[in-house]
Amino acid sequence: MDFELSQDHKVLRDSVRDFVEKEIKPIARKIDEEHMIPDALVAKMGEMGLLGSYFPDEYGGAGLDMLSYAIVVEEVSKACGSSGVLISAHTSLCCGPIYTFGSEEQKKKWLPDLNTGKILGCFLLTEPEAGSDAGSLTTSYRKEGDEYVINGSKIFITNGGYRGTGVIFATSDRSLKHKGISAFIVDLKSPGVEILRNENKMGIRGSYTTAFAFDGVRVPAENLLGKEGEGFKIAMDTLNGGRIGIAAQALGIAEGAFERALAYSRERKQFGHPICENQAIQFKLADMYAKIETSKLMTYKAACLKDQKKSYTMESALCKMLASEAATYVTKEALQIHGGYGFICDYEVERMYRDAKITEIYEGTNEVQRVIISKMLLQ
C-alpha cells in the first residue's frame, strides 16, 4: 500500500500552493473583513481549472480526479476557508449532480460555463424546517404543460449570492416524504427568485450564505435532473461526495493554523527561550499534528475510493467528522499557543479559529455523521 502522492498530484499541489501564495494569501484577511471574494480572484480560479477539477475537458473541466479536487480545496483553505468552500460547494454540490445524473444535453448546456467559472453554482436543499431531515421538504413543484412551477424557500445556501446556477430540490406531495422529491436545474436569475438575505456569519465570512424565496418560478421540463421522484437519491449521493470537499476544507484550515503556530512557537521567546522548548507546547504540537495526519489519510482514502467507483459512504462520513473536529481542535490550540496575540485580528489564527467551526455543521452535522457510521456498522 503506497501512501505517497503520485508525481502528477505533487505537481498539482505545488502549482496550487504557488497560486495561493501569490493570489489568495495576501488578500485573505480582506476577504474576511469585506465579506466578499473578489470577482477577479474567482475568474483566476476558473482559469486555473480549480472550479471544475475532476470533470472531463469535454465539459470544460480540468480532467483530473477526486483526489486532485481534495488537494485543491485543501491547499486553498490553508490560506482562506471562504475561498475553499466556494470551490467545494460549486464543484461537488452543483457541478457534481449535473455530471452524475444529468442527460448528455444537460451536461453540455450547463457544465462548460460552470466548470470554467463563468457561472457559479449552488445546492438548494436546506429549509427552515427541514435541515438534516431532507425528506420533510416544504418547497413544492407542480407540472404545467412543458414547465414545472416551484414555490417555497431555502436557507443556508453556499454561493447563493452569486445568483448563478442551482440544483434545487422540491416535493410534489409532502405525504410521500422522500419519494415525492425531485431535483431541478434552475437559473437563479429567473423571475420569481428572490434573495431574502445574505447571512452575517461568525466565520467563512467571504462566502455567501443565502436565504431564497421562490414564488411561482417556472423551470423548463428539460431541467428536471434525473427522473421525478429521484431527488432524494440525488441529494444523498451528492452529499456523500460533498463531505469529502468539506473534509478537505477542514484539513486545509487545520494545516494552515498548525503551520502558523509551529512557526510562532519557534519565534516567540519567554524566560529567555523559544516557547517551543516548553514541553507543554511540544505536547500541543504533537497532538495537533497527529489529528491532522489522521484526517488527511481518511480524506484521501475517501477521495480515492470515489475515484475507483467503490462504496465510500462510510469513509466520507468518517473523513468529514474527523477532519472537522480536528480543525476546531487545532485552531483552538494554535490560538492558545499564540496567547493574547492569537485573539488579535492581525494574527491569522483568529480568523481560522472562526472559520473552522462551520465544518462541523454543514454537509450534515457531525451527529449526523455518527448516525451514518453507526448504522453501517450495525448492518
Distance CA 231, CA 169 (A): 6
- One DSSP character per residue, 284-335 reads HHHHHHHHHHHHHHHHHHHHHHHHTT---HHHHHHHHHHHHHHHHHHHHHHH
342: its cell numbers: 492569537
Contact 301, 319 (CB under 8 A): yes
Cα Rg of the chain (Å, integer): 21
DSSP per-residue codes, 221-280 = GGGEESSTT-HHHHHHHHHHHHHHHHHHHHHHHHHHHHHHHHHHHHH-EETTEEGGGSHH
Question: What span, in angstroms and rounded, lies between the C-alpha atoms of 292 and 286?
Answer: 10
Q: Which of 23, 199, 333, 363 is catalytic?
A: 363
Amino acid letter for position 334: A
Displacement of CA 169 from its chain's centroid (Å): 18
194 in catalytic set: no
What residues are annotated to the active site?
Answer: 363
